[in-house]
């Protein structure tokens, strides 16, 4: 079931790389369906504590966690924001799933329950233990031991559905995958 897949994923998948698409749906209001926004790019990670989201569409944005610092670069604004990784990790389930050292670390932040199969995937419901955090719930979907999907519901009712494809497990990654050097001329801001 989903819990077994999650356990296998946390134990056997040390690093990985995948294409992702993300559909964010705003909460519906007075009967009108919420606006949706679709983005896509590449996600890479290495335990413990390292990940990279390279958003390619609709705009170029890169988020890199190098183990200590979380970097965010927005190409249009030509701006880099930098903050300590511990500060920001809680609200990024994909990052936590990928970079948490083991299942026990995950259980500290989320209560984990098996959920019914759907869309051909096995699911786990992860409920954040922090009551007033940014997130209401996270559903994690597996195809066998491979991470395939994340459905994130935040505390405002906004849904973010991430789907992974071409998942390469434990594939060798270039050395500087999780290093970030601010581009020349970019504003670098500490938060």
Partner 1 sequence: CAAPARKPDADASAASNHWSGRLALQIESPEPQSFFASFDLQGDVGQGELTLYTPLGSTLAQIRWDASTATLRDEHGTHAFASVDALLQQVTGTAIPVAALFQWLAGEPATVAGWQADLRQAGEGRLVASRLAPQPAATLRLVLDQ
Nearest to 136 by CA among 114, 154, 124, 149: 154
Nearer residue to partner 1 within complex by CB, 3 or 95:
95
Cα 113 from Cα 129, distance rounded (Å): 13
Tokens 């390292």, located at residue: 50
- H helix count then E strand count, the chain: 4, 12
Nearer residue to partner 1 within complex by CB, 7 or 25:
25
Q: Shortest distance, CB of residue 76 to partner 1, whole angstroms?
A: 4
Binding site for partner 1 (CB under 8 A): 22, 24, 26, 35, 37, 39, 53, 55, 58-59, 61, 63, 72, 74, 76-77, 79, 81, 91-92, 94-95, 132-135, 152, 154-156, 158, 160, 187, 189-191
Cα 21 from Cα 138, distance rounded (Å): 17
Nearer residue to partner 1 within complex by CB, 165 or 189:
189
Q: Shortest distance, CB of residue 39 to partner 1, whole angstroms?
A: 8
E strands within 32-158? 36-46, 50-57, 61-66, 69-74, 79-84, 110-118, 121-128, 135-143, 146-154
Q: Shortest distance, CB of residue 173 to partner 1, whole angstroms?
A: 20
Nearer residue to partner 1 within complex by CB, 58 or 144:
58
């Amino acid at each position: 079931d989903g819990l077994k897949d999650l356990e296998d994923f946390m134990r056997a998948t040390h690093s990985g790389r995948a294409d992702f698409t993300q559909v964010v749906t705003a909460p519906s209001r007075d009967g009108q369906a919420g606006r949706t926004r679709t983005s896509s790019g590449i996600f890479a990670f290495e335990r413990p504590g390292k990940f990279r989201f390279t958003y390619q569409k609709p705009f170029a944005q890169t988020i890199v966690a190098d183990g200590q610092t979380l970097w965010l670069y927005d190409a249009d604004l030509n701006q880099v924001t930098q903050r300590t990784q511990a500060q920001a990790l809680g609200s990024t389930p994909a990052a936590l799933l990928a970079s948490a050292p083991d299942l026990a670390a995950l259980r500290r932040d989320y209560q984990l329950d098996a959920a019914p199969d759907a869309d051909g995937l096995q699911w786990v419901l992860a409920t954040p233990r922090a009551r007033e955090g940014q997130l209401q719930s996270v559903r994690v979907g597996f195809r066998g031991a491979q991470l395939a999907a994340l459905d994130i519901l935040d505390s405002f009712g906004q849904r973010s559905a991430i789907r992974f494809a071409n998942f390469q497990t434990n594939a060798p990654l270039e050395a500087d995958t999780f290093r970030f050097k601010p581009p020349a001329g970019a504003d670098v801001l500490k938060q």
